[in-house]
Structure 1
Amino acid sequence: MPVFSLDPVQTAWCAELRALAVERLRPLAEKGEPGRVNRSLIAALGELGLLERLFGSEADSGAGRGTGSGGRTGTGAMELCLLRESLARGCTEAETALALQGLGTYPVVQAGTDRQRARWLPEVSAGRAVAAFALSEPGAGSDAAALALRAVPDGDGWLLTGEKRWISNAPEADFYTVFARTDEGAGARGITAFLVPADRRGLTGSPIEMLSPHPIGALSFDAVPVTRGDVLGEVDRGFRVAMNTLNLFRPSVGAFAVGMAQAALDATLEHTAERTAFGGPLKDLQSVAHRVAEMATRTEAARLLVYAAAEAYDTGAPDVPRRSAMAKLFATETAQYVVDSAVQLHGARALQRGHLLEHLYREVRAPRIYEGATEVQRTIIAKELYA
């Protein structure tokens, strides 16, 4: 399949997803409380089968490969990108809820034991359990290998001590995929991934009020006990679990951005065709028409980069890191430009609380930072180019 063209089945599925987002999911999203997990929305994603699409047949019984080898399981990158782009175009809250479930659960899909998978995958897929990906710390954001959360040996297990911060779905998740240092001084080679249920002794959390409306919080680990049965993959090889997860989800962050950009562009086309000023519709003003043309061109270019990165991932191409970084970089920066331009062309009404563009303006800023900031993506691209 050419990376620049979707087949009729994919096109029809995307249209169906956009309709579901507007008709079924947006009303639930509007009833949610900003900064809190919307469990009704997550349950609806489960009932519609969208969460199960993230994990494929792996979620049916919770059993599968679960070898810790980092092999690809669950959905492909292209399908994930189409999911996120289509939902974002109609309901960003639904898109984000789905993506966070995937991000928090994918370490279990790719590296969990049969027991871990049987316990959690069916619950997540059904929309009954909330997952969270706990990687970032107060002193380790873009430099994920600088993690300081310590896993101190304790008998046959460990005690986790330290903090996590900027964790989406915290502190309301039902379980966390937690990355902790098990070998001091070993850098990325001394990190282990753990599956930690939220009710584990010594684990507490608090919400953080943020610009974007989805839940984000901090976690405190006060000698939280974990065993070898909680390890995801292999001891001291957890960084690979984190990177495998991010490599899959990074292009789809770009897809989320493309969905927001397209929503802003759609609104702008309608507004500039109907709104009159200086004796005619706004679209007849060359400055407006040229701005809209630029918005459309950048959005389409971002979409193609995202699809190319997804196709590279799904086919096992050797240049996945470079393509993924390019897709996330260009798509998130493009979305910022398109949404900002849409606000400018709409005028003051776009700044009114509750307006689509006011909502998008708050949503669009964060993706340029999380899962690798723009500056980190440029570093990755440069490193790949000179390799």
Structure 2
Amino acid sequence: MDSSEKWFALGPAERAVQEEAASLTAAVADISAEADAMSEIHPGMREALRASGLAGLMVPAAYGGRAETVDPLTVCLVREVLMKGSSHLDSMFALQGIGSYAITVGGTDAQRAQWLPRVASLETLAGLALTEEHAGSDLKNVSTTVTEKNGELVVHGEKAFISNAGAADFFVTLVKEDLADGPGLSLVLVPADAPGVSTRPSPELIAPHVLGDVTFDGVVVPPEARLGAPGKAMSLVLSTLAVFRVSVAGAAVGLATGALEEAARHARTREQFGRPLLKHGPVAQLLADSWNDVEMARLLTYQAASFARQDARAALNRSSMAKVAATEAASRVVDRSVQVMGRWGLIANSPIERYYRQARPMRVYEGASEVLKLGIATTLCAELDQAPPAR
């Protein structure tokens, strides 16, 4: 069903890492349903991911990783395979990069040496603490603060709906700071075991996820805990999004592929009115429309990831397009797949029901579709303004 080899000419290295990811998902198939129902780290999944070495893709080779730099296309390809097998496994893999990338691009040599090898080996779990109760997409509205006192940094505030909260060993934390030229946003690396850090579970989601709220109650860290320059946090945040947003599209393609395969198998074997469902025109149309959606989403995702491989920041708009297209397509595909399977698609904790619940949050996190569309439309109009007039 996957035509990407013909259409995209992925090389031997890309194919090899896809096979590694497929071997991993096959090895944990018997615990996937159990893990996907958990809101805390599944130890068996963590050990399997650690043993696979795939987390090393999230860290440069100089600090224990597998390649010279973190490659958006490779990450995207791995997430596609992992999400098809287990959302828990995919999330654990993705968050190692999402939570640590600001250290990779903005940390000091000492910070990188301290944290990145442990991220690569999965000894340490990473966390990125951006959102708050009143600051989701509007990150400039964060209220968590950092102040300098007696030569140290003091962090106050609360973060909400933070992935890996309660499991992460550190939080790359977005804070507001009063600077000489006015308030600015900074990043501070806060160890999870620092005095004053506490976590509590967030409300349970429709698709279980390791998620929680984090409180920083006068947390004292040294000045060396800064990531990047004061007031320059958004540059590092955007760098993280530029590399990893397109990987959400990859995960969505994997989810849609898994759902479609479930529906296609059912349509081939389930008989109604004396013939397989596949021979009924409306069912065939649902399957055909879904395959079209999967392949279009895959092509746009691979294209965006390839652009991001060359220049992630310059390709951010294409990554946003891929994220919107793939997550919206996944929702359509899963909905049609449930329809094809009828009552069999409604059984709690079946593969298709899990896909159905997992698809919906993907249109919200790491940039809700409507928010991303605003940026996409703005970029479109700006490019038209710069284009020479038509003759």
Mark yes or no: TM-score above 0.5: yes
Q: 1:212-361, aligned counterparts within 5 Å? A: 212-316=207-311, 319-361=314-356
State which of 4, 19, 27 in structure 1 corresponds to 2:30: 27
The residue number in structure 2 matching 1:38 is 42
**Structure 1 residue 3: Cα displacement:** 7.6
- Judging changes above 3 Å, is the alpha-carbon distance between structure 1 residues 26 and 145 closer, same or farther for their aligned structure 2 residues? farther
- Whole-angstrom distance in 2 between the partners of 1:273 and 1:283: 6
| Structure 1 counterpart SS, 2:64 | helix
What's the secondary structure of 1:190's corresponding residue? Answer: strand
Q: Equivalents in 2 of 1:186, 1:350: separation in Å? A: 57
Q: Is the 8 A contact 1:61 1:118 kept in 2?
A: no
Q: Is the 8 A contact 2:153 2:221 kept in 1?
A: yes
Q: 1:385 aligns with which of 364, 380, 383?
A: 380
Q: Cα deviations across residues 114-169 of structure 1 (Å, max 9, x unaligned)?
A: 22222211212112211111101101101112211111221223211111001011
The one of 371, 376, 381 equivalent to 1:376 is 371
SS of match in other structure, 1:287: helix
Cross-structure match for 1:192: 186
1:179 shift after superposition: 0.7
Please state if 1:94 is matched with 2:98.
no
Q: Check the 8 A contact 2:61/2:68 in 1, yes or no.
A: no
Query: Given the alignment, which residue of 131, 137, 141 partners 1:136?
Result: 131
Q: Which residue in the other structure is 1:363 paired with?
A: 358
Q: Is the 8 A contact 1:103 1:133 kept in 2?
A: yes
Matching residue of 1:172 = 167
Q: Deviations over 1:204-251 (max 9, x none)?
A: 110122222121100111111122210111111111111110111111
Q: CA deviation at 1:321?
A: 2.4
1:103-118 correspondence runs (5 A): 103-118=98-113
Q: Which residue in the other structure is 1:49 paired with?
A: 53
Give, in angstroms, the shift of residue 9 of structure 1: 4.4
Aligned residue type for 2:192: A
Gaps of 5+ in 2: 383-391
TM-score by structure 2 length?
0.90
Q: Quote the offset at 1:44 in angstroms.
A: 2.0
Give the number of aligned pairs.
Answer: 376
2:256·2:294 contact (CA, 8 Å) conserved in 1? Answer: yes
SS for the counterpart of 1:386 is: helix
CA distance in 2, matches of 1:15, 1:193: 37
> 1:15 deviation in Å?
3.5
Q: Is the 8 A contact 1:261 1:335 kept in 2?
A: yes
Asked whether the 8 Å contact 2:76–2:247 carries over to 1, the reply is yes
RMSD: 2.3
Q: Select which of 198, 205, 212 maps to 1:210.
A: 205
Deviations 1:295-339 (A, max 9, x none): 000111111111111111112278512211110000000001111
Aligned to 1:68: none
* Structure 1 unaligned regions, length at least 5: 63-71
Compute the displacement of 1:186 (Å). Answer: 7.6
Q: Which moved more, 1:345-354 or 1:74-83?
A: 345-354
Question: What secondary structure is seen at the aligned counterpart in 1 of 2:28?
Answer: helix
CA contact 1:161–1:222 (8 Å) conserved in 2: yes
- The match for 2:385 is none
